Structure 1
Amino acid sequence: MVYSANTNHSTSTQRTSHFSLSRPLMIILIIGSLILTIIYISHQGIIVTEIFTAGSARNCLINSKQIDQNCHWYFLNYTPSAWESSWTDNIEQLQNIVCETLTNIDNLNKSALAVERLIELQKFGRNQTESNKQSSDIFLSRMVYQQKCINPITNISSRGVIVSQLIEPLIGLLRDPLTICNRVNTLPASAYEGAILQSKRFFLLSVAAPFYIHSSTPSPNNNVPMMITSNRRNTNLLPWMYQRSKLNSLDVETDIRKGQNILIDLGSSYFGNWNGDTTAGAGRWFYEYYKRFGIKFDRIIAYEYQALNPKTAWKQLPDDVFPVYTLINTGCEKSGKFSPWTNLKAMAKPYDHVVIKLDIDTPQIEGPLINEVLNDSTIHSLIDELFFEHHITVREMGKYWGNPPGSLKDSYILFTRLRQLGIRMHSWP
């Protein structure tokens, strides 16, 4: 280290000149050395991330205190996989042959491998580093974040490492690619286990998603799988999951404020089922997914238009959900007190982790609500994970959705733009 060399040199000078230096000069030299030490240490405080090769360490631990005082993560960009880009670039041509394209040998193999990997991650999360399915990560897309730090003494800012975190790609009908279309007997029967209409196998939430640390702009050749532990409340709640806005990048009170985990379920039905179908229930699915990784919701707000039996609704709640659950048994509105965004802005802060599911089967309300998210930074800066069933006209979904306005291309554009804003955007089945 440069400083160690300077220190040794100073010490050597003091030893050889001990009898020739006056006491005041010795004191000045000692004090000067201490000042240099303090300046050096404070300057090094800017560097709070270590990058290891896969062979030297499995975990990359970021000093929590340094992060809270000096550093912040913000969203950098969205990087689609090559598989996703092939669909996005050709979606106008593929609009009318989605199933034919999904079941060709290339897409079929990619779908099977991607689904298998996502099922594994939903179950075990990113901590299972010895997976033999990790090679399938090449099919997944990425949300990219960068760290920015500021030295509290010198007030000099610097950009830290870049992190890319995986997310399921936007392909096919934007849902589990082994559903809807006819099954192909070239795949083993196990590939279709759980491939039901309301399949949620194709989701990858940030609490389970692997991420990679990069020393510079991400590229497939410099990926090093890592795990960061920096949040005092829960190690699976990564810092960019609640502090990804440049607007409050120097907010040093994030951890002190103990941000909330909030779920807003728009079109909730009962907590455990939708029209009696337990596979379609959203509340319990989110609850169990997050609980699997040790994370509890501090608030759950459920909106439902259809009249629910209050006793049935409340009886379905687990004991630890009961105190934090709010049921608003009336429909969402585009504005006013029944607008979910009015309530979101009133209750949530940028340092909260917010999950939204929007599926009220009413396009004339869903459309304006999702457009508000897209165009209003005071809304989209609060949302971390967003699930939305976008009803459009496409042959394969005609018997479920009919012929509402819009095409599959519109869905691709919408979902991509929301991901480009830093929201982990998912297509609800």
Structure 2
Amino acid sequence: MPEQAAAVATWLNTLQQERATPAEKQHQLSYDPKVFSKYVTTSTCDGADSVETVTWIEPLAHGLRHPGALCGATSKAAVMSRDYLLLAHSHEVATAREVSRQRCVNRTCQTIFMDLGATTYDDRDIAGQGWFVRSYERLGLAFDRLLLWEAKPLDPAKVYSKVPPELLHKYQYFNIPAHTDLSSPSHPVRILKQIAQPGDFVVFKLDIDHAESETAILQALLDDPQASALVDEFFFEYHVTFGEMLRYWKSQADPAKSLADAFALFYELRQRGWRAHSWV
């Protein structure tokens, strides 16, 4: 439909403009409210006027992928495109901290990245950590800590060979499965609660290609108010029964879950205040 085509063009053109804008000026960009979704936060203190802040995020639309990925695209590059994602930028993070008056105890507030299903830093076939590092740096947010889980046994030389030297002191790579037993000291949710504070900006990616484990870890996050409150930006590839993606997901697709279930989940996560993105 012409209206949808126009909305998609606005969506992708706005993000292209964002990528061309320096981090310190990105808060000056405008987002069409008919296309983009938004969060509205209101803060009220005694004796002062209410302060309202608005932040924007890509819409939940087009199969929860890049709009061009499902229109006859046959290349993996098109399906794996992440150009539809609108991430948080440094001005938004600083504003959120100021409005909420969140402070960190005994240290400066940090930007933390937790990656469950990490592969390697720059995997050619899968989006490695390098994409996240570069994308957030472009938005004025440099990671202070990176904690990464990967179940597939890897040669340490392969893991660290492409990690930029300036990241090595921040980089913690666990070449073990992400545990789902909350009693395990290595459970990612337990570690999140041990290292993060409310004033930190936490990016959490869940993509370990094992539906039962992903569901258990996500549920652990949702069931724990303290842990849930620590997550700011969330990335999740939800393998549901969706015809256009079955040739890629194959046996990973959950026959009991549909695309409608995926939309409902991401809407719920955004209602919690998470910047929840359908990952690739």
Aligned counterpart, 1:386: 234
What residue number does 2:15 align with?
118
**Does residue 108 in structure 1 map to residue 5 in structure 2?**
yes
Classify 1:160/1:422 alpha carbon distance in 2 versus 1 (closer, same or farther; 3 Å).
Answer: same
Q: Which of 179, 182, 191 is matched with 2:72 structurally?
A: 182
Residue number in structure 2 paired with 1:145 = 41
Amino acid at match of 1:269: T
Which of 173, 187, 190 in structure 1 is aligned with 2:63? 173
The 2-side partners of 1:271 and 1:414 are apart by 29
- Asked whether the equivalents of residues 243 and 350 of structure 1 are also in contact (C-alpha less than 8 Å), the reply is no
The change in CA–CA distance for 1:267 and 1:261 in structure 2 (over 3 A counts) is: same
Cα deviation per residue 1:313-369 (whole Å; 9 max; x = unaligned)? Answer: 111111221110000001112122232101111111111110011100000100111
The answer as to 2:94 corresponding to 1:238 is yes
> Residue in 1 aligned with 2:122?
272
Change (3 A) 1:128 1:351: closer
Contact 1:236 1:293 in 2 (8 A): no
Q: CA deviation at 1:145?
A: 1.1
Shift of 1:144: 1.2
1:363-386 superposed Cα distances (whole Å, 9 cap, x missing partner):
010011112223321111000000
1:342 aligns with 2:190: yes
Q: TM-score, normalised by structure 1?
A: 0.59
For 1:356, the equivalent position in structure 2 comes to 204
Distance in 1 of aligned mates of 2:224 and 2:27 = 38
- Is 2:278 aligned against 1:427? yes
Q: Distance in 1 between matches of 2:98 and 2:277?
A: 20
Partner of 2:153: 307
* CA distance in structure 2 between the partners assigned to 1:380 and 1:114 by the alignment: 29
Residue pair 1:146, 1:159 contacting (<8 A) in 2 also: no
C-alpha separation between the residues in 2 aligned to 1:176 and 1:243? 33
Q: Which residue of 2 aligns with 1:75?
A: none
AA of the residue aligned to 2:4:
N
One-letter amino acid of the counterpart of residue 141, structure 1: S
- How far apart, CA to CA, are the structure 1 residues paired with 2:236 and 2:5? 25
Partner of 2:82: 200
Give SS of 2:230's match: coil
CA distance in structure 2 between the aligned counterparts of 1:250 and 1:114, rounded to whole angstroms: 32
Q: Which amino acid aligns with 1:385?
A: E
Structure 2 counterpart of 1:297:
143
Q: Residue 315 of structure 1 aligns to which amino acid in structure 2?
A: S
SS of equivalent to 1:372: helix
The unaligned stretches of length 5 or more in structure 1 are 1-103, 150-155, 184-193, 208-233
**Residue identity matched to 2:268:** R
The count of residues paired between Structure 1 and Structure 2 equals: 274
The 8 Å contact of residues 349 and 382 in structure 1, kept in 2 or not, is answered as yes
CA change 1:333–1:129 in 2 (3 A) is closer
Q: Distance in 1 between matches of 2:245 and 2:142?
A: 35
1:295 offset after TM fit, Å? 2.5
The one-letter code of the counterpart of 1:127 is K
Which residue of structure 2 lines up, in the alignment, with residue 410 of structure 1? Answer: 261
- Which residue is 1:325 aligned to? 171
Bigger Rg over Cα: 1
- SS of the counterpart of 1:178? coil
* Letter in structure 2 aligned against 1:175: R
Residue 161 of structure 1 and its aligned partner are, at CA, apart by 1.5
Q: Percent identity?
A: 30
Q: Distance between the aligned counterparts of 1:365 and 1:129, measured in 2? A: 37
- 2:55 and 2:92 in contact (8 A); partners too: no
CA contact under 8 A between 2:24 and 2:91: conserved in structure 1? no
- 2:146·2:170 contact (CA, 8 Å) conserved in 1? yes
Structure 2 distance, partners of 1:129, 1:347, is 29
> Are 2:130 and 1:284 aligned?
yes
TM-score after normalising by structure 2: 0.88
Is the partner of 1:398 in helix, strand or coil? helix
